[in-house]
Amino acid sequence: MSSAPGSGQILMSPRPAVGATVSLEGVSKRYGAVVALDEVSLVVRNGEFVCLVGTSGCGKSTLLNLIAGLERPSSGVVDIGGRRVALMFQEPALFPWLTARGNIELALKARGVHRAQRAREAGQLLGTVGLADFAGARPHQLSGGMRQRVALARALAQDSDVLLMDEPFGALDAMTRDRLHEELERIVQKRALTVIFVTHNVREAVRLADRVIVLSSRPGRIVEEIAVDLPRPRSINTSDVAELAAVITTGLHDQGGEAGGRH
């Protein structure tokens, strides 16, 4: 089930592994002459937390868009088994004319939840992200961290099996980010969510992930996969996280000249 040692390509299998939630087979994406993603194959298991790291321009966001169905691959197969996918961006992307509660209720409404139940569920979700007292606040009245919490609650309101996160905490200060890491870890474990999380911060990736996937840039390829076996709950400031992150970072730097080769 888990990946064999070696490069990412080994994960190619005729059918997705048992328990696979998201599987990509030989997925390429080209924009004209630019190859954003080249033959990427990846299997994410049910309940797994996968972090994609890589320098900017390595096609991380493209990969998320492909999984979310917002773009189509130029070749290859993306299989999410008809599962619902919720997206979260670096910007909260909240609707400014709606309150925190209204934003969450709209996601519930889009899902077809009844009015009475919407109010109840929205209240619970606000509690989950620690914003029960800010239900009536509009996005511009909230701090950056609070807005991202609302965005997280809204993504959870979509009740999807897979949560795709595109550098969701990239614009936050370190303390707010640490707190959100803890909350995300708690929520993901409680709800058994499958998460694909894009970041350029290697320590953040090690802090959160069960598995870290390193992408090379131009063309974007999987160059390395690292299983993170550190016990949870983790902290971004402990030495084991820092050490593993340092190893991965070195690998990232080395990969510059021989991108695409065996790591």
* Residue numbers at the binding site for other proteins (CB under 8 A): 68, 70, 85-87, 89, 91, 93, 95-97, 106-107, 109-111, 134, 137-143, 146, 154, 158
CA distance linking residue 53 with residue 162, whole number of Å: 18
Instruction: Return the sign of the alpha-carbon dihedral for residues 30, 35, 38, 43.
Output: negative
DSSP label of 33? T
CB of 69 to other proteins, least distance (A): 9
Rg of the chain, C-alpha, whole Å? 18
Please say which residue, 110 or 174, places its beta carbon nearer to other proteins: 110
CA distance linking residue 12 with residue 17, whole number of Å: 10
Lookup: tokens for 41: 């194959």
Please say which residue, 129 or 248, places its beta carbon nearer to other proteins: 129
Please say which residue, 54 or 92, places its beta carbon nearer to other proteins: 92
Please say which residue, 12 or 171, places its beta carbon nearer to other proteins: 171
CB of 171 to other proteins, least distance (A): 13
Instruction: Return the sign of the alpha-carbon dihedral for residues 14, 15, 20, 24.
Output: positive
- For the chain, the maximum distance between any two Cα atoms, rounded to a whole number of angstroms, is 58
CB of 223 to other proteins, least distance (A): 28
Neighbours of 234 (CB within 10 A): 18
CB of 2 to other proteins, least distance (A): 30
Give CA angle at 57 (55, 63), nearest 5°: 100
Please say which residue, 139 or 219, places its beta carbon nearer to other proteins: 139
CB of 175 to other proteins, least distance (A): 15
